[in-house]
Amino acid sequence: MAFAPSPIPSRTQYVLEAVKHGILTGGLSPGQALVETELATRFGVSKTPVREALKTLAGTGLVVMSQYKGATVRTVDAAMAHEVYDVRLLLEPAALRRTLARRASLEPARAALIRADAAEDRAERSLANREFHRALYLPCGNPLLARMLDDVRDQAALVSTVAWAAEPSWEREAGEHREILRRALADDADGAATALHDHIASFVQRAFPEGDHA
């Protein structure tokens, strides 16, 4: 968009973050109804900030708005997971190559790995993992490319939340993250990009095999 979005009011932001946290930690399940009056009572606000928060979350792909059903947490199935991860497969390795070509600092990625290893719960670990990936693509030098990847971050996190609930696999993924960073720090752009591609592809295929419509 050509213009800067208006700041989100504090109450709306509060509700937005609380609902997002519930979705990304599994406290709010895929397909669960998000009733404005119930949420307003729960958070001690009027329905207006709740409605605005849900609209924003619908824009990020975490919530589905229906004229008949109202708002619900987005359901994750194989088709949705592969759609989101296909975007990541196309864009993230290319962004990482650009980051390495610019010799941008990878210290934020290293710090995110440390936070992930020290995480005490799934929500904290998920956030650190997202920060790791973002630290690889954000310094790519193309703000539009970075924003496109930012746009699918929440949906990718929702996919991970559902997958981890079925089969916790973060130790394997942590090892893959370390290998990606090791190659990146060694200035092995091809190796790092390939490792990142394989990491993204193997996760979605393992968690949501093609043809699976769970």
Helix axes 170-185, 78-101, angle to 10 degrees: 20
**What pLDDT, on the 0 to 100 scale, is given for residue 166?**
81
Helix residue ranges per DSSP H, 2-77: 10-24, 36-43, 47-60
Q: Are the beta carbons of 65 and 51 closer than 8 angstroms?
A: no
d(CA 46, CA 69): 21
63-66 vs 70-73, strand pairing mode: antiparallel
Helix residue ranges per DSSP H, 61-106: 78-101
Spell out where the chain has E strands: 33-34, 63-66, 70-73
**What pLDDT, on the 0 to 100 scale, is given for residue 9?**
63
Other residues' Cβ atoms within 10 Å of the Cβ of residue 153: 17
Class of domain 10-73: mainly alpha
Could you list the pLDDT tens digit for every one of the 214 residues in the chain? 444 444 556 999 999 999 998 998 888 999 999 999 999 999 999 999 999 999 999 999 999 999 888 999 999 999 999 999 999 999 999 999 999 999 999 999 999 999 999 988 777 888 899 999 999 999 999 999 999 999 999 899 899 888 888 887 778 999 999 999 999 999 999 999 999 999 999 999 999 987 554 4
Report DSSP state, residue 194: H
The domain limits of the chain are 10-73, 78-207
Q: Are the beta carbons of 96 and 196 closer than 8 angstroms?
A: yes
- C-alpha torsion angle, residues 32, 203, 132, 101 (rounded to 10): -140
d(CA 54, CA 179): 38
**What pLDDT, on the 0 to 100 scale, is given for residue 68?**
84
d(CA 13, CA 56): 10
Helix axes 170-185, 107-118, angle to 10 degrees: 160
Classified by CATH at the fold level, domain 78-207 comes out as Four Helix Bundle (Hemerythrin (Met), subunit A) (1.20.120)
